[in-house]
Amino acid sequence: MEFDLIHNLGIGFGVALSWQNLMYCFVGVLLGTLIGVLPGIGPVATIAMLLPVTFNLSPISALIMLAGIYYGAQYGGSTTAILVNLPGESASVITCLDGYQMARQGRAGPALAIAAIASFFAGCVATVVIALFAPPLAEVALKFGPAEYFSLMLLGLVGATVLAHGSLVKAIAMTVLGLLLGLIGTDVNSGMARFTFGLAELSDGIGFVIVAMGVFGFAEIITNLEQGAARDVFVNKVTGLMPTWKDLKDSSGAILRGTALGSALGILPGGGALLSSFAAYTLEKKIGDTSNFGKGEIRGVAAPESANNAGAQTSFIPLLTLGIPSNPVMALMIGAMMIQGIAPGPQVMTERPELFWGMIASMWIGNLMLVILNLPLIGMWVKLLTVPYRLLYPSILLFCCVGVYSLSNQPFDVMLTALFGLLGYIFVRLECEPAPLILGFILGPLMEENLRRAMLLSRGDATVFFTKPISGVLLGIAIVLLLITLAPAVRKTRDVAFQE
Amino acid sequence: MKVKNGKDFWAGLMFAGFGLGFMLVSLNYPMGSAVRMGPAYFPAVLGGLLALLGAVVFFRAFVSKFEHPLKVFPFRLHMLIAALALGGATYLADSWLKGMPMAGFALVGLALALFIGAFGPKAMFLVLLAVVIFGYALKPLGLVLATALLIVISAVGGHDFRNKEIVILTVVLVLFGVLVFVKGLGLPFNLWPGE
């Protein structure tokens, strides 16, 4: 087993260290940092824009570059969180709390350094976690039938619902709405066009880039314009990057805990970077001296930063082993694999080992590049932040439009994105969190198909979801999770946690 | 009965509307049975569930402990709904209107006027309008002009429009688009009209 691991990693590094793949890895993490720093454009828009380009690349180069964009964005997002109190990435929301306070106290340098060190450490550990856990999980996944898949996806949806901001009922409703929107298009089983209103453009379903870009990207731009976002940049105060020994000692425990928590939560469907950073911060606030939290506690930067990077990376595990996307970025990765003619799932690891292990090795290399990119070049990224929003948002709009249009060269797609932008804006106004909607949208057709197959196999006996052991356990966890959230005591802390 | 939470009020209506809509449309498809589910089965069940959840949110608006005014949107919601309803009705009545094209045009025009009237010169409307125009202008007008339209219209939507800056931004982004998207990434866009 251990020999296998070393042998496999050897194959991986052999692939990842080729001159060409190193270059694509670098392009990926550089782009990732850039979009992570710029608020308003995230990995989803960027990867969508680059999808058509990956046609011409080899499969491994394409995946290495796209993965680099995702975890690179986690690095870049923390920079804006600390310096401007604006999360460049949703996963850096938590870092704003203490990171920005540190910057206000003139300690922006150590905050940025600790964020980078924490991210690097977490990235290294998460790489090992993927290498260790993905193969056995893929073995288990080969035994998964439709009932197990259905229950797993249900668990993911419950997870996303429980972790959404605000009202639980609204979050469930958003999930269901997402599932329904995902069903628009041709039904795979009967070949019947559903909810298309006779429009040929809808017969393949709505591209999820369209939904994600409208609901997240456009809606955010409109909201920002209405509020007239004011920003304070602590550009001049970034001096003395190096943290003191005390800083390192204080944060080492937090980094370890954040990494462990992030690696575990990233594996859950519906998990990933955002959930991990929330959980890590909450945990840290329960340990040791907590008087300084919210006032520039370095542990409050170290824990969520290590957790979000670990979570971002381990969220590749469900994709690579089960073929299930746990968040919008992973759904795009599936799209990228399909373009290359690779069906995601447990068979990838055995049939295309160089692809799987090459990607894992590239993550470690990419993390190393990110430290080099981020620490010495911090001044350059900070300069970018001084670009006023009135110049930034038309540029972001252009990138989004080009990304959507190039999906299938249809103006209709662009109009549909604008419609979803309107819908997303309405969601913001009504305090309906869009994240569960997106996950539901991705999983909708998959869930329906597995439900149908499971019911067909069991001859209409719905108890099969509970009597099959793996499926039963997954459903049990989902039910417990829902019940816990409904318990009054937890509801209160949940409200408090999300208000911060 | 007084609405305490305007946000829940509208959110409830929205969810219930979507739920009922999906449920009603799916009734046109074969339902099947639990063993062999037809195309209507899953969406009909989910639509019903969504309508139910919407009802819960709607009634919660009257007893909520959070207070929000009923006016949540900066646009005229009744005009928007009227515009969408009129547009939908025109679409459904397409075959009847075949005989009298003028009536069809009038209805579409009225719907558009209501749509624009619902928003006024708001950031949201102009940004989304710019996006739609870009989508439909890219092919006939080419990348250069479509980009310029997108940037100028969306910039009007911001609160801080500066002529000189917008001109420079347009030039820079057009150059960037031509060099990166077309020359660099090889996306199949024509640069000028009629190419």
A240 dihedral zone (left: phi>0; alpha: psi -120 to 50; beta): left
Q: Note the maximum CA span of chain A.
A: 69
- pLDDT score of A179: 94
**pLDDT of B20:** 94
In this prediction, residue A181 carries a pLDDT of 95
What is the reported pLDDT for A499?
46
Mean pLDDT over all residues of chain A? 82
Q: How many domains does chain A have?
A: 1
Q: Which residue has the tokens 């074969």?
A: B30
pLDDT confidence of residue B86: 83
Read off the tokens for B92. 């459904």
Interface touch B35/A167, C-beta < 8 Å: no
Residue A497 pLDDT > 60: no
Chain A touched by B70 (CB under 8 Å): no
Q: Is B43 close to A180, i.e. CB distance below 8 A?
A: yes
DSSP letter for each residue of A288-329: S--TTTTS--THHHHHHHHHHHHHHHHTHHHHHHH---SSHH
A343: domain range? 2-499
What secondary structure letter does DSSP report for A206? -
Do A190 and B138 make contact, defined as CB atoms within 8 angstroms?
A: no
What pLDDT score does A36 carry? 82
CA distance A278 to chain B (A): 25
Residue A201 one-letter amino acid? E
Q: Does B135 sit within 8 Å of A411, measured CB to CB? A: yes
**Residue A232: pLDDT over 70:** no
User: Which of A238, A251, A208 lies closest to A416 in space, CA to CA?
Assistant: A208
Q: Does B147 touch chain A (CB under 8 A)?
A: yes
Which contacts qualify for B161-167: CB closer than 8 Å, 24 or more apart? B161/A390, B162/A390, B165/A390, B165/A391
Lowest-confidence range among A10-24, A98-112, A217-231, A428-442?
A217-231
Contact B34 A402 (CB under 8 A): no
Chain B residue numbers with beta carbons less than 8 Å from the beta carbon of A404 are: 135
Q: In whole angstroms, what is the distance from residue B86 CA to residue B101 CA?
A: 16
Between A287 and A186, name the one with better pLDDT. Answer: A186
The verdict on B93 touching A (C-beta cutoff 8 Å) is no
Q: What is the pLDDT of residue B12?
A: 93
Higher pLDDT, A84 or A11: A11
pLDDT level of residue A162 (50, 70, 90 thresholds) = confident
Contact A224, A432 (CB under 8 A): no
Share of chain B above pLDDT 70, in %: 95
Look at residue B32 and give its three-state secondary structure. Answer: strand
What average pLDDT does this structure show over A356-367?
Answer: 88
Grade residue A58 by pLDDT with cuts at 50, 70 and 90: confident
- Residues in A closer than 8 angstroms to B162, CB to CB, are 390
Furthest-apart CA atoms within chain B: distance in Å: 66
Mean pLDDT of the A281-307 span = 82
Hey, are the CB atoms on A221 and B19 less than 8 Å from each other? no
The complex's ipTM works out to 0.88
Of B34, B155, B162, Cβ closest to residue A455: B34
Q: Which amino acid is at A467?
A: T
Nearest CA to CA, how far is B106 from chain A (Å)?
22
More confident residue, A358 or B64: A358
Confidence of residue A75 (pLDDT cuts 50, 70, 90): confident
Chain B hits for A413, Cβ within 8 Å = 135
For residue A390, pLDDT over 60 is answered with yes
State the average pLDDT over residues A53-70: 86
Task: Tell whether the model's pLDDT for residue A458 goes beyond 70.
Answer: yes
- The alpha-helical segments, DSSP class H, found in A183-341 are 208-212, 219-227, 245-267, 273-284, 299-314, 316-322, 328-339
Residue A80 above 70 pLDDT? yes
User: Residue B31's Cα: distance from chain center in Å?
Assistant: 30
The mean pLDDT value for A172-199 works out to: 89
On whether the CB atoms of residues B154 and B127 are closer than 8 A, the answer is yes
Examine the pLDDT at B43 and tell me if it is beyond 90.
yes
pLDDT in tens, B61-85: 888 777 788 777 777 777 888 888 8
Q: What is the pLDDT of residue A462?
A: 84
